[in-house]
Amino acid sequence: MSASRRSPVIVEHLRKQQMWDALAKGKRLDGREFDDQRPLEIELDVIKKANGSARVKLGHSEVIAGIKVSTGEPFEGLENKGALIVSAEVLPIASPHAEPGPPDEEVIELARVVDRGVRESEMIDLEKLVLVPGKVVYTVFVDCSIVNTDGNLFDATSYAVVAALLSAKLPVLKMEGEKVVDTSETRDMPITTIPISITAARIGDHVLIDQGPEEEACMDARITITTNEEGFCAVQKGFTGSFTVEQLKKAAQSARVKGEEVRARLKELTAK
């Protein structure tokens, strides 16, 4: 069951007024333009024990994604594809409002939206992750530990997952009879494309990308749009308010332009 609730962050009226005054002049409280993202830091291979990993800081939102590869049965209906599972946990260290325990609906939505971007763009050629068709396939777990929350976890988490996948080394496994054997060789993930999400928030009549924590607490609605080199692959509208069609088309356009910038950075980073 899903129930409406109040944001745990209450923005002071003073700040809200300043935010609205700034937005009316086309500015944001931290000095950004509507289409500016906060500083983005990406660090690869931070967890050597994982098959791939990345730490992303977007503003002060910080996410560590780690990949663990094993083998298992394929998903039903996807017998000739490897299995990919994205999960996330907002660690209780991440904010005074986060509590230990199983992920709540917001975190499950977060993980599923990130998962959808990777899955629907067909970033990983899952057909190359099959050992015995219909029986044994690679299982790729992508787990995200959110270390600090500072607004727009969708994009921070998404970039961490994509960066971890891009840098991952897949263990080369072989079947010896019924048994799976690790050859102790590795190869790159079969990557076909780089999906990038861009999230925008609507506050009043203004639509701005990469909302900070105060903007997030003041926003009416949110839209996460994932694109790859060719076009759109996944969208999620979130939060209690709504968008006009015009606003959505504009957000979609920024998602492609901004997405291209982030993609170029990731490409450069992982090419090394």
Partner 1 sequence: MHDVKRRYVIPGDKIADGNFRPLMNVIKSGNALVATRIGIAETGRDGVKVIPLSGVYIPRVNDLVIGKIVDHSSLSWEVDINSCFSAHLPAQDVFGRDFSPARDDMSKHFAVGDMITARIMAFDRTRDPMLTVQDRDLGKVPRGELLKISATRVPRLIGKRGSMIQTIEQATQTRVLIGQNGIVVVTGRDPEGIKLSVRAIQMVEDEAHTANLTQRIKVLLNVPDTPQEITRAPIGNGDAKSGEIDSNMGEVEEELEVEGEK
Partner 2 sequence: MTQTRNLIDENGKRTDGRTADELREVKITVGTVRNADGSAFIEFGKNKIVAAVYGPREVHPKHMAQPDRCVLRCRYHMSPFSTDTRKNPAPSRREVEISKVMREALEPALMLEDYPRAAIDVYVEVLQSDGGSRCAGIAAASVALADAGINMRDLVSACAAGKVDEQIVLDINDTEDKEGGADMPVAYMPRLEQVTLLQLDGKLSQEQFNECLDKAISGCKIVYEIQKQALMQKYFGNETELKEEVAVQ
Chain residues in the site for partner 2 (CB under 8 A): 46-50, 53, 60, 64-68, 70, 87, 89, 91-96, 100, 102, 141, 143, 145, 147-150
Cα separation of 151 and 237, whole Å?
A: 16
Residue 133, Cβ neighbours under 10 Å: how many? Answer: 12
- Residue from 14, 26, 39, 49 that binds partner 1 (CB under 8 A)? 14
Q: According to CB under 8 A, which one of 1, 3, 13, 272 is a site residue for partner 1? A: 13
CB 52 within 8 A of CB 164: yes
* Residue 12 within binding range of partner 1, rule CB under 8 A: yes
Residue 177 binding result from partner 1, partner 2, none, given CB thresholds of 5 to 8 Å by partner type = none
State the number of binding residues for partner 1 (CB under 8 A): 9
Give how far Cα 39 sits from Cα of 60, 247, 271, Å: 9, 25, 21
Q: Which does 143 bind (CB under 5 to 8 A by kind): partner 2, partner 1, none?
A: partner 2
Please identify, using beta-carbon distances, which residue of 25 and 49 lies nearer to partner 2.
Answer: 49
DSSP codes of every residue in 230-250: SSEEEEEEESSS---HHHHHH
The binder of 47, among partner 1, partner 2, none, by C-beta within 5 to 8 A per type, is partner 2
- Kindly tell me which of 94 and 123 has the beta carbon lying closer to partner 2: 94
Amino acid at 101: G
Nearer to partner 1, 52 or 59 (CB): 59
Find how far residue 35's CA is from the centre of its chain: 19
Taking the C-alpha atoms of residue 11 and residue 129, their distance in angstroms, rounded to an integer, is: 47
